[in-house]
Every structure is written in C-alpha cells, then in structure tokens.
Structure 1
Amino acid sequence: MKVEIWSDVVCPWCHIGKRRFEAALERFPHKDAVQVEWRSFELDPGAPSAAAGEDVSPTEYAERLARKYGTSVLGAQQMTDHMTQQAAAEGLDFRFDRAVRANTFDAHQVIHLAGERGVQDAVKERLLTAYFSEGEAVGDHETLVGLAAGAGLDADEVRAVLEDQRYAGAVRTDEAEAQALGISGVPFFVVDRKYGVNGAQPADALLQVLERAWAERTPLIPVIAGGEACGPDGCMI
C-alpha cells in the first residue's frame, strides 16, 4: 500500500502531521507493507532565502505571519504559541524565534534525490528539525549539503544536484499534480490513490484510513472452495 504525502519543510503542521502519521503507522498491523513517498509543495514559492549565519529577530516569524494573514503581530504570536503547544504534545520542540526565512524549492530537490537513494524519510525529518528546532537556513545550499549528508546522502552528489537543478522538473511535476488533485493546503495524505486526508489529523483518524484502505485491497475471501479449476500448473481432473 502506498501513501503519498504532500508537504513543505517550513510548514509547522506538516511536521506535526508527520509525527501523527508515524504514530498511526506504528499501530498499523501491516506497516511493513506501506510505502511512504514525500511529495513537493511550496507554501511560498516566491520567498527569499536568508544566508546561513544571518541574524534573526526573535519576532521575525510572527511578523512575517502577520503580514501574510493580515493580522497583528500579537495575533500571529498567539498562533505560533498554539502550534508550539501542539508540537510539544507530539514530542517536538518548535523554536519559531530561531526560524530563518527560506525558499524551499531546492530543499524539495534534495528530498527527491533522497527518495532515489532510499533515505527520503531521514532527510525529510532532518530538514524539518533543522528549520523548526535549530534555526538552520534550509534555503542555503551549503547548509542543505551539510544537513543532507548528515542524514545519509553523499555531500558531493547533493552539491551537484543543487548546481545543475536536476530535480527541478520533478518538483514542478509534484506541484502540478497537487493542483490537479485539488490540494491547496498541506500536509495532504493520499492513500493508495483512493483516499485523501487533509491536514494534520489525529493519529486515530489516520489509522482508520489506513485500515479502511487495507481492507479494501485484501484478496477476496473464498466462501466455497474445492471446485474444479485450472491454474498455472494445469487443470484439475
């Protein structure tokens, strides 16, 4: 069974949603048969990236959020406080006061490379943690190289990918597919191309979807057996 998850590495609910999905998957009896693929979605394609080491104001994230949603800085701070509490309940340490603005297009290219090298989940997790907890500049190339290398990729290959932009088309394809599927917000979970789950739903809800999708793909249960039939090795006589 395949689960595709559209998300962004600067999306707080995506990190929370990842933890909740992991909790659901841990309780799913057939978890070893589930293939998870992370798909690209940019919350702000036009966002500029700050350089590594650039000073960050503790209120910068709230100020950016206030401008985006047309609210006050105080109102935006209340939003981040709520997300911080939700994250803590999932074992995550969100530090919005450290968050460095970033364009995530290149981070998504690195995640595509990670998918081909079998370490996609580890790289995705590393980038999320770097942004939300450690104040890393995930839009900076050398920062991306270091983070990805620490999660199992070859540093020189990551550097080459960022130089020649070889996964740019793959990122754009993901985003076009999201639009075709009507995905306007993330995280968004697509289970076996049959069920769509919008948002960071509770683990119980995600587990129910996994169980339902699995039940519908289980082979038929024979109610009458033993009749004459033909198979690959010949026919019953």
Structure 2
Amino acid sequence: MQIKYWSDIACPFCYIGSNNMKRAIKDLGLENKVPLKFMAYQLDPAAPKKAPQSSDHELTPRMKQIEDYAHQNDLEMNLADVIHVNSMDAHRLIKLAYTKSDNLANKLINCLYKLYFVDGKSIADHEVLKNVATEVGLDADEVDAVLNSDQFEKEVRQDEMNAMQSGVQGVPFFVINDKYAINGAQPYEVLVGALKKIASEED
C-alpha cells in the first residue's frame, strides 16, 4: 500500500488529518510498510513572506471549533498565536529533506506543524526554518543554499499542478494506491476502517 497526500503546513485541517492518518497507520502495524508521501499545496500563495508587526488576534467561534476538533484528536493547537505567513520556503525545505530520506522529511513536517500551530512561530522566517531543519538532521550549509535560492520551487509547483490535474480542490487530500481518495480531516476511526477495507481488497 502507498499513500500520498496533498497538504499545507499552514492548514489546520491538514495538521489534524495527517496526524490521524499517521496514528491509523501506526496502530494497524503498517508504519514500516506503508510509505506516506507529503505533496505540497499552498492554500494561500499570496500570504506575506514577512510576519506582520502584530499577530495578535482573537479566537473566533470558527477557530475555537477547529481547536476543539484538534484537542479531541489529541493534538495541541493555539490558533490565536498563529502567524499567517507564506509557506513556500517550508515546502521547499521538505523537498530537500525528501532527497535524504522519508524519515527525515516526516520529522521535519511534524516539527513545522508544531512550530506553526503550537509555538506561534513564523514558518517564513529563515532563522526559524534553519534551526528546525538542522535540529532534525539536515546540513546547515545545504539549508542555507536552499533558503537563499529558488531551489525546489519548481517541485512544489509541480505538486500543485498534479493536484489540479487530479481534481483536488481542498486539503488534506489522500490518495491510496493511486485509486482510492479520502478528502478532508477525517476522524481516526474512519481512516482505520478505510485502510483495513483497502488492505483486504488489495490482498
């Protein structure tokens, strides 16, 4: 079984949905058997590359709903602290990590989600990105080279083009074995059921 999913680091439902999928894969004993490939998708390509002077904002009822859903799924989330910035550089670093190993890329993805949704850090800030990338094991010079160029931007755009061609209109969007699609931040139980069903059909 193979799973690819389009996702944006700046998308709360992607954070919840991908976490639920990872839990489902792990609990079914498929962790080392099922590759989970992150595909880049920017929900707001026009988002600023620099953090605004003040990022304080009140929690709207909708944001509170999303936070509650995250908490129900055992995830910490602080939407009032989120700094809305461009996610392109974060996506480019994920592409760099994938050139090393899937494991390294997944570690970086998890850390980037935490930075954005829990720690209230700017994922467009090169210093923040470099710190987290080197912490998970990427080479500092390679990270600098990527951040100070447009390296991997073409690959990010290609992922988005593939999403458009596949009819993806919202994220997260999971595609299993190139034929089964699961859209949105589905509950953990739904994902477990879907994976079991697909596994039995594919046997």
Normalised TM-score (structure 1): 0.80
Match of 2:117 in 1: 132
Q: Give me the identity figure in percent.
A: 33
The amino acid that maps onto 2:21 is F
Instruction: Name 1:33's counterpart in structure 2.
Output: 33
Question: How far is 1:178 from its partner?
Answer: 0.3
- CA separation of 1:132/1:30 partners in 2, compared to 1, >3 Å: closer, same or farther? closer
Q: What residue is the counterpart of 1:93 in the other structure?
A: 76
Q: Secondary structure at the match of 1:117?
A: coil
Aligned counterpart, 1:58: 57
1:94-113 superposed matches below 5 A: 94-113=77-96
Out of 147, 154, 174, which is 2:139 matched to? 154
Report the equivalent of 1:15. Answer: 15
Query: Cα deviations across residues 148-194 of structure 1 (Å, max 9, x unaligned)?
Result: 11222122211111222220111011000000110010111111101
CA contact (8 A) 1:37 1:115 kept: no
What one-letter code is carried by the residue in structure 2 that aligns with 1:23? R
Counterpart secondary structure, 2:99: helix
Matched residue type, 1:111: I
Shift of 1:55: 3.4
> How much has 1:47 moved relative to structure 2?
0.9
Shift of residue 120, structure 1, vs aligned partner? 0.9
Q: Does 1:189 align with 2:174?
A: yes
Q: Specify the alignment match of 1:206 in structure 2.
A: 191
Aligned pair count reads 201
Query: Which stretches of structure 1, 4 residues or longer, exceed 4 Å deviation after superposition?
Result: none
| Root-mean-square deviation (Å) | 1.6
1:180 and 2:179 matched? no
Consecutive unaligned residues of structure 1, counting only runs of 5 or more, are 63-76, 219-237
Max Rg structure? 1
Q: Contact 2:51 / 2:84 at 8 angstroms: preserved in 1?
A: no
Alpha-carbon distance in structure 2 between the residues aligned to 1:11 and 1:55:
21
Answer with 123-132 or 90-99: which moved more. Answer: 90-99
In the TM superposition, what is the alpha-carbon distance from 1:96 to its structure 2 partner? 1.6
1:183 is paired with a residue whose SS is coil
Report the residue type matching 1:209 in the other structure.
A
**Do structure 1's residue 121 and structure 2's residue 120 form an aligned pair?**
no
Instruction: Please tell me whether residue 46 in structure 1 is matched to residue 75 in structure 2.
Output: no
Which structure has more RCO (C-alpha within 8 Å, separation ≥ 6)? 2
Residue in 1 that maps onto 2:66: 83
Contact 2:40 2:160 in 1 (8 A): yes
Match of 1:25, as an amino acid? I
How many angstroms apart in 2 are the aligned matches of 1:57 and 1:205? 35
Q: Distance in 1 between matches of 2:50 and 2:149?
A: 21
Q: CA separation in 2, counterparts of 1:92 and 1:208?
A: 21
Normalised to the residue count of structure 2, the TM-score between the two structures is: 0.93
**Alpha-carbon contact 1:195-1:209 (below 8 Å) kept:** no
Q: Distance in 1 between matches of 2:30 and 2:119?
A: 34
Contact 1:192 1:213 (8 Å CA) reproduced:
no
Q: Distance in 2 between matches of 1:187 and 1:42?
A: 11
